[in-house]
């Protein structure tokens, strides 16, 4: 068993292959966090807690006379709120009498031999290869009739532990849940850095590393999506931690809406880390018998650096979060028409693109924005999900049939969660849009947001999307979200329940996605929010690939894909070859480099094939051949960050499971006169096998390659790239 229970049912050890997480319910019912780190035996480590009389840190009534016992100093799994722990809390309550105290005490536990599910939200699931285990610890609020269940899941071989929270009101009085975070980690000792992933639209998920101190480090979103600005994942690590050395703790929130994540030292140097739903603009009313479920946090620990931590997240998300036909299947190489035509297209243009694409080996044509309603720009039509056959010059079925006749698949763009005021839907149902009565709303991209918490809104969207997908041969759907949420007001939850709307909105999105995929299980769904504005673990449950960024510039993509790789599988990153000068940066890079960068993701094109040269057409064929040749290596292999972007060159590497084949991509990002040699390190090979290297035609042992590295015989020019292969020759 991965979960051990001892000391009269009060000591809990969660074991993975390489780690242990320990808790102990003490004599007062406080659930103490005693250890998380390298795998250990099951001895009670509560003796590591140092008790002292700390000024201005009071004592609970049970510990009367013992001034060394204070909630303000103890490492806890579920910190109480307003009763003596002055640090950040997890679950805060507003009682009928206006008081806000919440004092949680241990009541009992339950073990389950499978993974738990979070109601209405994605969570890691069991598969045939590995079945998780679950520990449920029940904590009861000391005075009110509120129970908090702490859910812990263990995936032993994957080195993953999950956490979630469930709050239930057993009392006659209504309770307002004013804060509900999913995870608290208290570390009694040690210095730590916090790595977060920050950015903006078209430059998402750049790693930012800061030392944890008394000043709180906090990221989060209030945008109704997980956001371009802050990703809901972070790493707590030793200050000396590198790719291959040091203790690292990952926290990844399975949630696509407003979130918070923070780390802070307390007065005694202990570090508290919290993650969950953003408490700003959040409140949730619980009547008698009602339950609130918080999203899951995926924890993982590495004792040997950041690379191992990333490998653990790649594997767990690819195998226990992604689902469906395309979870592991090779995805078609696609051509998206957006940067080729924008809104200016018709059947003839699209079929011409399809014909050229088919000749070059591209396998799917995707029709992006502009095919529906009155939609010749981004100022109208959203919500009117009816094909504009006058603009197209045909029905979607006729167009799809023509594309299929070319031997290609056909894909379609949707933005279901949004609505234009200049639309028939808005004129018919203005109350379906978020807009506060008496206030003029913010408009972004000249559009408003549909209230996805409403059943009638979701029923309409499901009916329209089902009608389109049933009557046209559509193999792929790109699901986009092109603005942040604000002006939140739901006519359904008006009054004192509008604090529930952000959360109910994303539950509605999940519900619609689930029903759509139940109806069309063979559709390949690609998530998108202006690129990477909703790139999170929860969306991978529905869309095994997500458009990584609206920025397709190959050099900027080095940074974006690098940051994304710390948590998310390479197979999840939508990456395309686009035209130059690049439409976002005006940078000019070689066609080869654009292909090599896009190869490290779900591969495709976003350009006008009418405007590329004959030489580039031949390169498209070569790139597609490379995609097929290296697909399993890139999408299923182990990924190594060889160098970060920002230096003279950027390099990364893939190694297959048997360590027979490795592929390194190297991109030069600067040029200089009288250049120094280009020397790169090599990772992941078997020390006891010999490998032939394509770059210099030499054979060395894996031990030698990994020790000595490789010096390129020729130095690529600025923004040029090379692929380097190592193939095993057999054991020494």
In a domain, 559, yes or no: yes
d(C-alpha 504, C-alpha 298), whole Å: 22
Q: Are residues 496 and 565 in the same domain?
A: yes
Question: Helices (DSSP H) in 185-324: which residue ranges?
Answer: 306-320
pLDDT of residue 122: 98
Q: Is the peptide bond before 581 cis (omega within 30 degrees of 0)?
A: yes
d(C-alpha 570, C-alpha 635), whole Å: 6
How does strand 291-293 pair with strand 146-155? unpaired
Do residues 272 and 601 make contact, with C-beta atoms less than 8 angstroms apart? no
CATH number at residue 119: 2.70.98.60
**Which two structure tokens, joined as six digits, stand for 491?**
């006519």
Largest CA distance in the chain: 86
Read off φ and ψ for residue 79, nearest 5 degrees.
Answer: -60, 140
Do residues 31 and 77 make contact, with C-beta atoms less than 8 angstroms apart? yes
Give 471's DSSP letter.
H
The continuous run of DSSP H or E covering 272 comes out as strand 271-277
CATH number at residue 721: 2.60.40.1180
Q: Is the peptide bond before 101 cis (omega within 30 degrees of 0)?
A: no
Cα angle: 292, vertex 295, 296; to 5 degrees: 130
Do residues 410 and 524 make contact, with C-beta atoms less than 8 angstroms apart? no
pLDDT of residue 732: 44
In a domain, 586, yes or no: yes
Residues of the chain with pLDDT below 50 are 732
d(C-alpha 729, C-alpha 732), whole Å: 9
In terms of residue numbers, what domain contains 229?
3-320
Nearest 10 degrees: CA dihedral of 485, 486, 487, 491?
A: 40
Do residues 484 and 509 make contact, with C-beta atoms less than 8 angstroms apart? no
Do residues 378 and 446 make contact, with C-beta atoms less than 8 angstroms apart? yes
Task: Return the number of other C-beta atoms located less than 10 Å from residue 670's C-beta.
Answer: 11
Tell me the β-bridge partners of 180.
91
Do residues 527 and 543 make contact, with C-beta atoms less than 8 angstroms apart? yes
Q: Which residues contact 507 (CB under 8 A, 6 or more apart)?
A: 120, 121, 453
Q: Which residues contact 234 (CB under 8 A, 6 or more apart)?
A: 194, 195, 196, 197, 219, 250, 251, 261, 263, 275
Of 262, 286, 320, the residue that ends a domain is: 320
Do residues 622 and 348 make contact, with C-beta atoms less than 8 angstroms apart? no
Of 291, 320, 349, the residue that ends a domain is: 320
Q: Are residues 281 and 373 in the same domain?
A: no
Nearest to 452 by CA among 422, 476, 427, 481: 481
Q: Which residues contact 640 (CB under 8 A, 6 or more apart)?
A: 243, 307, 652, 653, 654, 655, 683, 684
Distance between the two ends of the chain, CA-based, in angstroms?
39
Q: Are residues 603 and 718 in the same domain?
A: no
Q: Are residues 533 and 616 in the same domain?
A: yes
Nearest to 87 by CA among 319, 263, 303, 212: 263
User: In the 3-class helix/strand/coil scheme, how is 639-689 assigned residue by residue?
Assistant: EEECCCCCCCEEEEEEECCCCCEEEEEEEECCCCCCCCCCEECCCCCCCCE
Nearest to 110 by CA among 206, 179, 12: 12
pLDDT of residue 371: 98
Q: Are residues 310 and 394 in the same domain?
A: no
In a domain, 693, yes or no: yes
Question: Is residue 508 helix, strand or coil?
Answer: helix
In a domain, 365, yes or no: yes
Tell me the β-bridge partners of 291.
168
Q: How many CA atoms lie within 13 A of 720 on its CB side?
A: 8
Tell me the β-bridge partners of 700.
691
d(C-alpha 102, C-alpha 562), whole Å: 42
Do residues 470 and 520 make contact, with C-beta atoms less than 8 angstroms apart? no
Nearest 10 degrees: CA dihedral of 377, 382, 386, 388?
A: -10
Of 320, 349, 365, the residue that ends a domain is: 320
Nearest to 2 by CA among 19, 12, 14, 20: 14
pLDDT of residue 58: 94
Task: List C-alpha distances in Å: 721 to 203, 622, 633, 717.
Answer: 21, 15, 19, 8
Q: Are residues 385 and 457 in the same domain?
A: yes
Q: Which residues are catalytic?
A: 536, 616
Q: Are residues 234 and 353 in the same domain?
A: no
Model pTM? 0.97
Read off φ and ψ for residue 361, nearest 5 degrees.
Answer: 100, 5
d(C-alpha 546, C-alpha 548), whole Å: 6
In a domain, 302, yes or no: yes
Give 702's DSSP letter.
H
Cα angle: 616, vertex 618, 619; to 5 degrees: 60
Q: Are residues 616 and 681 in the same domain?
A: no
Do residues 695 and 584 make contact, with C-beta atoms less than 8 angstroms apart? no
Q: Are residues 280 and 396 in the same domain?
A: no
Nearest to 250 by CA among 559, 566, 638: 566
The continuous run of DSSP H or E covering 428 comes out as helix 424-428
Q: Are residues 340 and 366 in the same domain?
A: yes
Q: Are residues 162 and 191 in the same domain?
A: yes
Do residues 526 and 548 make contact, with C-beta atoms less than 8 angstroms apart? no
Q: Which residues contact 611 (CB under 8 A, 6 or more apart)?
A: 579
**Which two structure tokens, joined as six digits, stand for 114?**
């499978």
d(C-alpha 512, C-alpha 120), whole Å: 11
In a domain, 328, yes or no: no
Region label for 329, one of left (φ > 0), alpha (ψ between -120 and 50) or beta (otherwise): beta
Quote the number of domains for the chain.
3
CATH number at residue 555: 3.20.20.70
- Rg of the chain taking only CA atoms, in angstroms: 27
Check the CA dihedral 380-383-387-389 and report its sign.
negative
pLDDT of residue 496: 86
d(C-alpha 207, C-alpha 653), whole Å: 19
In a domain, 140, yes or no: yes
Do residues 124 and 85 make contact, with C-beta atoms less than 8 angstroms apart? no
Q: Are residues 338 and 387 in the same domain?
A: yes
In a domain, 512, yes or no: yes
């Amino acid at each position: 068993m991965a979960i051990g229970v001892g000391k009269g049912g009060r000591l809990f050890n969660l074991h993975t292959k390489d780690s242990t997480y320990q808790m102990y319910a003490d004599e007062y019912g406080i659930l103490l966090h005693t250890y998380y780190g390298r795998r250990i035996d099951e001895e009670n480590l509560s003796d590591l807690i140092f008790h002292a009389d700390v000024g201005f840190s009071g004592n609970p009534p049970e510990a009367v006379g013992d001034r060394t016992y204070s909630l303000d100093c103890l490492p806890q799994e579920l910190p109480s709120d307003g009763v003596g722990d002055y640090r950040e809390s997890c679950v805060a309550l507003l009682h009928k009498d206006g008081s806000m105290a919440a004092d949680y005490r241990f009541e009992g536990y339950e073990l389950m031999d499978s993974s738990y599910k979070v109601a209405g939200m994605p969570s890691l699931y069991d598969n045939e290869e590995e079945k998780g285990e679950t520990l449920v610890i029940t904590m009861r609020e000391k005075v009110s009739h509120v129970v908090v269940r702490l859910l812990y899941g263990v995936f032993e071989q994957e080195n993953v532990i999950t956490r979630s929270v469930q709050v239930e009101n057993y009392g006659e009085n209504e309770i307002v849940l004013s804060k509900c975070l999913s995870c608290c980690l208290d570390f009694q000792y040690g210095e730590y850095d916090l790595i977060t992933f920050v950015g903006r639209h078209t430059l998402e998920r750049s790693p930012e590393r800061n030392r944890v101190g008394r000043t709180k480090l906090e990221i989060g979103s209030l945008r109704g999506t997980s956001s371009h600005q802050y990703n809901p994942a972070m790493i707590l690590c030793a200050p000396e931690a590198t790719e291959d050395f040091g203790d690292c703790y990952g926290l990844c929130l399975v949630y696509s809406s407003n979130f918070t994540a923070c780390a802070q030292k307390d007065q005694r140097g202990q570090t508290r880390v919290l993650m969950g739903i953003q408490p700003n603009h959040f409140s949730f009313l619980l009547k008698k018998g009602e339950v609130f479920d918080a999203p899951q946090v995926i924890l993982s620990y590495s004792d040997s650096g950041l690379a191992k931590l990333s490998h653990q997240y790649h594997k767990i998300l690819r195998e226990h979060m992604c689902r469906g036909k395309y979870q592991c299947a090779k995805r078609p190489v696609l051509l998206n028409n957006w940067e080729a035509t924008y809104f200016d297209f018709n059947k003839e243009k699209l079929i011409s693109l399809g014909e050229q694409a088919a000749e070059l080996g591209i396998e799917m044509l995707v029709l992006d924005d502009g095919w529906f309603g009155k939609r010749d720009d981004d100022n109208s039509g959203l919500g009117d999900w009816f094909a504009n056959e006058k603009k197209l010059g045909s029905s979607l079925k006729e167009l799809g049939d023509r594309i299929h006749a070319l031997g290609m698949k056909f894909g379609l763009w949707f933005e279901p969660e949004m609505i234009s005021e200049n639309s028939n839907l808005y004129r018919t149902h203005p109350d379906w849009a978020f807009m506060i009565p008496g206030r003029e709303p913010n408009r972004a991209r000249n559009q408003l947001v549909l209230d996805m918490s409403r059943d009638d809104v979701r029923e309409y969207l499901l009916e329209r999307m089902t009608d389109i997908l049933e009557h046209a041969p559509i193999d792929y759907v790109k699901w986009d979200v092109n603005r942040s949420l604000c002006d939140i007001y739901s006519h359904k939850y008006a009054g004192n329940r509008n604090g529930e709307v952000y959360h109910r909105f994303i539950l509605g999105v999940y519900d619609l996605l689930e029903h759509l995929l139940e109806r069309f299980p063979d559709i390949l769904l690609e998530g998108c929010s202006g690129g990477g504005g909703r790139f999170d673990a929860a969306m991978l449950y529905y869309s095994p690939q997500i458009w990584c960024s609206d920025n397709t510039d190959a050099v900027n993509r080095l940074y974006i894909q690098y940051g994304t790789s710390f948590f998310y599988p390479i197979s999840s990153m939508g990456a395309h070859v686009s035209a130059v000068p690049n439409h976002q940066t005006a940078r000019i890079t070689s066609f080869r480099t654009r292909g090599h960068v896009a190869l490290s993701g779900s591969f495709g094109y976003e350009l006008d094939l009418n405007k590329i040269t004959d030489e580039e057409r031949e390169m498209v064929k070569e790139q597609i051949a490379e995609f097929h040749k290296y697909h399993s290596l890139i999408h299923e292999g182990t990924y190594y960050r060889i160098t970060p972007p920002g230096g003279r060159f950027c390099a990364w590497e893939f190694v297959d499971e048997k360590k027979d084949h490795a592929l390194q991509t190297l991109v030069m990002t600067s040029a200089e006169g009288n250049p120094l040699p280009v020397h790169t390190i090599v990772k992941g090979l078997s020390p006891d096998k010999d490998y032939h290297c394509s770059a210099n035609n030499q054979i060395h042992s894996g031990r030698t390659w990994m020790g000595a590295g490789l010096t390129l015989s020729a130095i690529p020019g600025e923004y040029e790239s090379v692929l380097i292969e190592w193939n095993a020759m057999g054991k020494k």
